[in-house]
Chains A and B, each alone.
Chain A
Amino acid sequence: MGRLTGPLGAGTDVRFPAILRQMSLVFDNLHKRFGRIQALDGLSLEIPQGHIYGFLGANGAGKTTTMRIALGVLRADSGALAWGGVDHRRLPRATWGYLPEERGLYPKMTVLDQLVFFGRLHGMPADRAARTANEWLTRLRVPDFATRKAGELSKGNQQKVQFLAAVIHDPEILLLDEPFTGLDPVNVVLLRQAILELRARGKTIVLSTHQMETVEAMCESIAIIDRGRTVIDGTLREVKRSTGRQSVLLATEIGHDLAWTGDLPGVRVIRPGLDRVELGLDPGTEADAVLAAAIARNVPVRHFEVADPSLEQVFIELVGHPADVDTSLAPIADAAQGQDADHGGGQNAGQNAGRDAGQNAGQNAGRDAGHNAGQDAATQESPAA
C-alpha cells in the first residue's frame, strides 16, 4: 500500500487496489506551466474516499495550482483528474467544497445572507441553505453571527464563516487550504471536530497545511510534493517510516548537556531541550546503542522512548533542504550580507514553515507514541479510525 516516488521511492510504485481507485480522487500525471514556471510536473496522487488526506509542500510547490485545477478554475496542460472514475470537469461544481488559503467574505453582507448565497450557488434551495447555515452556526457555537455583517467579525471568526461557506452544500470532496491558520486554540479544536465529523460522514478531505502537528493528528494518508512533483505519498505511518530513520526521545538528570552523544556514530541531536531532547538515528543505528552509551557514561536516564521520526523531520529530509544547507540560524552579520542572495525562496519558506509547525508535532506524537513508537497521533485521536 502506498507509493514512494522521487529520490526515495523510485521503483516502489505500489498503488491502491483497483476497487479502491474507483472510489478515489485520482490525479494522474498533471502538468501545468505558467510562462517559464513549471508549476506542476507530472503530479500524481490517489486519495481514497472518506480519508483526510494531508497535502504537504513548501510554498510554491504546486498545492494551490493542483486545487484550482481540481475545481476547474485552471486547466491542466496535460494529465487527468477523476473522482470515482469520472473526469473532474464533468462533475457538478457542487461536488467540491473549497476553503482557500486567502480568506475573504463580503464585508457588508450578513453572515446568514452570505452562507445562503453560496449555498444557492451550489444548487441549494434558499430555505434549506438558511436552515443548514443556522445549524452549522449553532454547532460552531456562534448562532448570533447570523445577523451580523462579516466585516464586524474578527479574522478568526470570519474564517469559521468561510469554512461554513465551503461545506454548507454538503460536498463530497473538501479542499481545505490552511484551515487552521489564524485560529485561536479553542477554534482550532472546534474546526478539527467539524472536519473529523465530515470525514465520519464519508466526505473526502484534502488538507493542505504547513502545520505538521495537524497532519499527524488528523490525516490517515499524506502526500509530500515538491516543485510540482509527488515526492512521496501513502499512509502517515508509511511515510514516516520511509526514511528508515528512528528518533529517540531522551530525558536525563543532567538536562541539556548532550556532549556525550557526540561520540555516538549515526546519532545526531534533532531538537535540543532543557527537559527532553530528540535524537535522530541514521538507518542501521540501533536505539539500544544510545541507551547503552548513556548507561556506560553514567548518565542518569529518566525517560527513554523510541519513536518514528516526526513528520517535520521527514518533510525536511525529503524536500526541505539539500545536505549542504545549514538549518541553524545564521549570525546577524551573515544575514545582513546575505539578504539579497537567492537561495530559492519558496523552498526555504517551506523549510521554515515546516520547522515551525513541526516543533510541537514531533513532541506530541512522540509523547503519545510509547516505547515501541508504532502508533501515530492521528490514529489515536481520530474517532473514525
Chain B
Amino acid sequence: MIERSSDRPDPILPNTGIVARREFTERVRSRPYAASTVLLSLLAIFVSFLPIIVRLVDRDTTTTIAIVADDPSLAQRSESIMRGVLSTTSGGSPDSWVFTIETDREAVKTDVSEGRVDGALFATRGASGRLDFTFLTGQGLGADRTQFVAIGTFAVAFLEWTDLVNPSGSVPFLPPTLNVLAGAGPTAGGVPLAATEIASRQLLGTVLIVILFLTMTIYGMWVAAGVAAEKETRVMELLISAASPRQLVLGKVVGIGLAGLVQYVAILVPAMIALALQRPIAEFLGLGSGINPPLSGITPGFILAYGSFFVLGFTLYALIYAAAGSLVSRVEDLQVIALPMSLLGIAGYIQAVLALSGGLSGFIRVASFIPFWSPFVMFTRLTVGRVEPWELVLAYALLILSIGLVAALAIRVYAAGVLLYGQRPGPRRILRAVINPNG
C-alpha cells in the first residue's frame, strides 16, 4: 500500500529560498515593477499633500462656531474678539468664520455631534479671573482651524485681562486654558482624543491604509499571475518534479513578498518625507501654520505594527492568490478568480475607512479581529488610538493562526491545481482538491 506522500524528505530550505530568490530577482528586474514603484510613490506623495491641496482649494470655507458662556458679556466679548482676530490671522476671507452665541450647552453639543455647527467653544471665568475654554470639535473641523481657535481664545483672554481684570496693572496675566474635545470624533477608553492628534492620525492612517490595500492587492495578483504563468508556459511540469508544492508556494510568497517590501519602502519613504515637509510648505504658500505635523503620531511601535500587519496580511492574501492561480490554465483567466479576491480586500478597506472617520460600531470592532480584514481595520483602530492591548494580541494571534491554516489548504489546492489544465475551477473541484490533492 502506498504511504503518505510526506514520506519523501521535504525540508523547507533550501528550495524555498531558491524559489524565493528567483521570484524576487525576476520581479525587481521587470519594467512593470519599476513603473508601479514610480506610480505608487507619486500617488503616496499626492495623498500626503492632500491637506495642503485641500487647504488651497478651500480657502473660502466657512467654519461655524457656537459660543456658550456663563456670563453673557463674556460670550459677546469672545464672539467679537474671535471674529476680528481669526478673520485676519487665518488668511481666509472675512466670511470664513461665523460665530453664534448660544445658551443651551446640551443643545449645542448635539448640534456639534450632528454636524449643524463645526464646533462649540465653552467659556467660563474662574475665581482667579482666569478664563477656561473648552473647545468641542465636530467632524468637519480640521486640525488647522482648531489651532486658529486656540489663537483666538488666547486673544480673548489677553484683551479681557487688559480691559477688565487689570486696569491698574496690579494683577498678573493668567494664560487661558484650552481643552479641546472631539464632539463627534473618536475616543479612547471613553476619553476623547485631542482633535489635532486625531486629524494628524487620520491623515497618516489614510495614506498608510491606501498603500496597504493597493500593495496587498497588487502583490497578491503578482503571486497568482506568477503561478498561472508557470502553468501557461508549462514550466510547471518541470518545477513540480524538482520541488514540492510546499516549497514552491512558500518560495513564491516569500520572494514576491520581499520584492513587495522593497517597493513598499520605496513608496513609503518619499511619502513620509512629504508628510514631514507639510508645515514648511504650507507656510511657504501662505496657508498659515495651521497644519499639524502628521508624523507626530509615528513611533517605533507604530511602525512595527504597520510592518507586521503588512507582512502578515500580505502572506495571508498571497497564499490564497497562489492557490487561486494554480486553478487556472491561463493568466487571462485570473480575472474570474481575482474579482472575489479583490472584493474580500475591498470589504476590509471600506471598514478601515469607516473606522478612520471616527466610527467604531460593534461590527467594525468585530471586523478588526477577522483575519482577512484585521490588517486593515485593526491597524486603523491602532492609528486613531482605540485599541486595548488584549485586542491587539488577539488580532495577531488569529491572523497568524489563519495563515497556518490557509497555508495548509493553499498548498493542497496548489498541488492539485497545477496538474489541472482546461478545467474550470468550480467550488466542487476546489473542495475535492483540498480533501484529496492527489486524486
A residues with a Cβ closer than 8 A to B are: 33-34, 68, 71-81, 87, 89-93, 96, 98, 100, 102-109, 117-118, 120-122, 162, 165-166
Q: How distant is the Cα of A61 from the Cα of B230 in the complex, in angstroms? A: 26
Q: Mark B1-30, 1 if CB is under 8 A from A, else 0.
A: 111010111000011001100100010001
Question: Which 3 residue pairs across A and B have the least CB separation, nearest first?
Answer: A104-B234, A100-B237, A75-B438
Instruction: List the B side residues contacting A105 at CB < 8 Å.
Output: 233, 235, 238
Instruction: List the A side residues contacting B242 at CB < 8 Å.
Output: 93, 118, 121-122
- B419 contacts A by Cβ under 8 Å: yes
Instruction: List the A side residues contacting B236 at CB < 8 Å.
Output: 104
| Total count of chain B residues near the partner, CB < 8 A | 30
Q: How distant is the Cα of A385 from the Cα of B305 in the complex, in angstroms? A: 68
Known contacts A121-B19, A166-B238, then 14 further A-B pairs from the complex at CB < 8 Å, ordered by chain A residue: A72-B8, A73-B240, A74-B419, A77-B2, A77-B439, A93-B243, A100-B234, A102-B237, A103-B234, A104-B234, A104-B235, A104-B237, A121-B15, A121-B243
Q: Which residue of B lies closest to A69 (CB)?
A: B2
Q: A165, B233: Cβ atoms under 8 Å? A: no
Instruction: List the B side residues contacting A92 at CB < 8 Å.
Output: 9
Q: B238, A162: Cβ atoms under 8 Å? A: yes
- B241 contacts A by Cβ under 8 Å: yes
Q: Least Cβ distance of B135 to chain A in Å?
A: 60
Q: Which residue of A lies closest to B242 (CB)?
A: A121
Q: B439, A34: Cβ atoms under 8 Å? A: yes
Q: Which residue of B lies closest to A67 (CB)?
A: B241
Query: What number of residue pairs across chains A and B have CB atoms under 8 A from each other?
Result: 88
Q: Least Cβ distance of B28 to chain A in Å?
A: 13
Instruction: List the A side residues contacting B22 at CB < 8 Å.
Output: 109, 117
Query: Considering the complex, which residues of chain B in the window 213-247 have a beta carbon less than 8 Å from any beta carbon of chain A?
Result: 230, 233-244
Q: A96, B233: Cβ atoms under 8 Å? A: no
Q: B7, A109: Cβ atoms under 8 Å? A: no
Instruction: List the A side residues contacting B30 at CB < 8 Å.
Output: 108
Q: B15, A90: Cβ atoms under 8 Å? A: no
Q: A74, B237: Cβ atoms under 8 Å? A: no
Q: B237, A71: Cβ atoms under 8 Å? A: no
Q: Which residue of A lies closest to B238 (CB)?
A: A165
Instruction: List the A side residues contacting B15 at CB < 8 Å.
Output: 121
Among the listed B18, B234, B419, which residue makes an inter-chain contact with A120, where contact means beta carbons less than 8 Å apart? Answer: B18
Q: What would be 15 A-B contacts, judged by CB atoms less than 8 Å apart?
A: A33-B439, A71-B241, A72-B5, A73-B240, A73-B241, A77-B2, A89-B2, A90-B8, A93-B8, A98-B237, A98-B238, A104-B230, A104-B236, A104-B237, A117-B18
Among the listed B5, B14, B237, which residue makes an inter-chain contact with A75, where contact means beta carbons less than 8 Å apart? Answer: B5
Q: How distant is the Cα of A78 from the Cα of B234 in the complex, in angstroms? A: 29
Q: How distant is the Cα of A91 from the Cα of B8 in the complex, in angstroms? A: 7
Greatest chain A CB density within 10 A among B5, B8, B241, B244 is at: B241
Q: A87, B240: Cβ atoms under 8 Å? A: no
Instruction: List the A side residues contacting B237 at CB < 8 Å.
Output: 98, 100, 102, 104
Instruction: List the B side residues contacting A78 at CB < 8 Å.
Output: 1-2
Q: A93, B241: Cβ atoms under 8 Å? A: yes
Q: Which residue of A lies closest to B421 (CB)?
A: A102
Q: Least Cβ distance of B430 to chain A in Å?
A: 15
Q: How distant is the Cα of A20 from the Cα of B68 in the complex, in angstroms? A: 103
Instruction: List the A side residues contacting B235 at CB < 8 Å.
Output: 104-106
Q: A109, B26: Cβ atoms under 8 Å? A: yes
Among the listed A68, A89, A91, A106, which residue makes an inter-chain contact with B3, where contact means beta carbons less than 8 Å apart? Answer: A89
Among the listed A74, A121, A166, which residue makes an inter-chain contact with B438, where contact means beta carbons less than 8 Å apart? Answer: A74
Greatest chain A CB density within 10 A among B3, B15, B18, B30 is at: B18
Q: Least Cβ distance of A106 to chain B in Å?
A: 6
Q: Least Cβ distance of B229 to chain A in Å?
A: 9
Q: Which residue of B lies closest to A96 (CB)?
A: B241
Contact of A75 with B2 at beta-carbon distance under 8 Å, contacts A91-B8, A100-B238 already known: yes
Greatest chain B CB density within 10 A among A71, A92, A120 is at: A120
Q: Which residue of A lies closest to B240 (CB)?
A: A73
Q: Least Cβ distance of A164 to chain B in Å?
A: 11
Instruction: List the B side residues contacting A109 at CB < 8 Å.
Output: 22, 26
Greatest chain A CB density within 10 A among B19, B26, B242, B419 is at: B242
Q: B234, A80: Cβ atoms under 8 Å? A: no
Q: How distant is the Cα of A348 from the Cα of B3 in the complex, in angstroms? A: 36
Q: How distant is the Cα of A34 from the Cα of B432 in the complex, in angstroms? A: 11
Q: How distant is the Cα of A165 from the Cα of B233 in the complex, in angstroms? A: 15
Q: How distant is the Cα of A96 from the Cα of B8 in the complex, in angstroms? A: 13
Q: How distant is the Cα of A105 from the Cα of B3 in the complex, in angstroms? A: 32
Contact of A80 with B2 at beta-carbon distance under 8 Å, contacts A34-B439, A98-B238, A122-B242 already known: yes
